[in-house]
C-alpha cells in the first residue's frame, strides 16, 4: 500500500463547514485522501466559524480538482 506524503498539501476547496464535509466525502469516495483545516472551530463555535479548507496531497491535486469541477458543473445545470 502506497503511503501519502502530507508534507506537501494544496487547497482544493474553501467554504462553509457543511459544504466542506460534502466535498470531503465526495473526494474520499473517489479514493482521494483529504485533510480538513479549521474544522475544529466550526465544531466549537459554528455561528462564528471561519470557512473550512479542504487540503489534498500535491499528487492528487489534479484529480481532486476535476471531481470538484464536475460537481460544480452539475450544480450549475440544475
How many C-beta neighbours within 10 Å does residue 42 have? Answer: 20
Which residue in 58, 62, 64 sits closest to 28, CA to CA? 64
Q: Across the chain, what does the average pLDDT equal?
A: 83
Determine the pLDDT at residue 18.
85
- Report pLDDT for 14: 93
Each residue of 33-61: pLDDT tens digit? 999 887 665 556 666 667 889 999 999 99
**In terms of residues, how long is the chain?**
78
Give every strand in the sheet of 52-57, ordered side by side: 9-15, 52-57, 35-37
What is the average per-residue pLDDT within 24-38? 94
Q: Which of 39, 38, 31 is nearest to 4 (CA)?
A: 31
Amino acid at each position: 500500500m502506497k503511503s501519502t506524503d502530507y508534507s506537501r498539501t494544496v487547497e482544493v476547496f474553501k467554504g462553509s463547514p457543511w459544504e466542506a464535509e460534502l466535498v470531503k466525502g465526495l473526494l474520499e469516495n473517489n479514493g482521494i485522501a483529504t485533510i480538513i483545516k479549521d474544522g475544529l472551530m466550526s465544531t466549537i463555535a459554528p455561528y462564528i466559524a471561519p470557512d473550512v479548507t479542504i487540503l489534498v496531497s500535491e499528487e492528487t491535486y489534479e484529480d481532486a480538482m476535476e471531481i470538484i469541477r464536475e460537481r460544480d458543473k452539475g450544480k450549475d445545470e440544475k
